[in-house]
Amino acid sequence: MCGNLPTWQIAAASICGTSHQRHGVPCQDAHAWEVLPSGAIVIAVADGAGSAVHSDRGSSIAVKAATEFLRDRAGECLAWLQHNPDREGEPSKLDESIEETDHDPQSTPNSPLQAHAQVLLDHVLQAIEQEAEQENWLIADLATTLVSVIADDRTSIAIQVGDGVAIVNDTANQAIALTVPSNGEYANETTFVTSQAARDTLQISTWQGELTHLAVMTDGLQRLALSFPQAVPHQPFFHPLFQFVAQTADLDLACSKLKNFLASPRVTDRADDDLTLFLAYRSRQDDGGSAHT
What predicted TM-score, i.e. pTM, was given to this entire model? 0.89
Residue 288 pLDDT exceeds 50: no
| 2-7+29-219+276-292 is a CATH 3.60.40 domain | yes
CA distance 56 to 28: 4
For residue 152, the one-letter residue type is D
pLDDT at 76 over 80: yes
Residue-wise pLDDT tens digits, 109-165: 458 899 999 999 999 999 999 999 999 999 999 999 999 999 998 899 999 999 999
pLDDT for position 98? 39
Q: Which of the pair, 93 or 246, is modelled with greater confidence? A: 246
Percentage, residues of the chain above pLDDT 70: 84
Residue 112: what pLDDT? 87
Q: Is the pLDDT of residue 97 over 80?
A: no
Q: Please report the pLDDT score of residue 229 as a whole number.
A: 84
CA distance 65 to 161: 14
Tell me what the mean pLDDT of segment 58-81 comes to. 96
The answer, yes or no, to whether residue 95 has pLDDT greater than 70, is: no
Spell out the domain ranges in the chain. Answer: 2-7+29-219+276-292
> How far is C-alpha 91 from the chain's CA centre?
16
User: What are the tens digits of pLDDT across the range 215-265?
Assistant: 999 999 999 999 988 889 999 999 999 999 999 999 999 999 999 999 999
Which amino acid belongs to residue 22? R
Return the SS3 of 11: strand
One-letter amino acid for residue 180 of the chain: V
The percentage of residues in the chain with a pLDDT greater than 90, rounded to a whole number, is 76
Give the H or E element holding residue 290: strand 290-292
Strands (E), 193-249: 203-208, 211-217, 226-227, 232-233
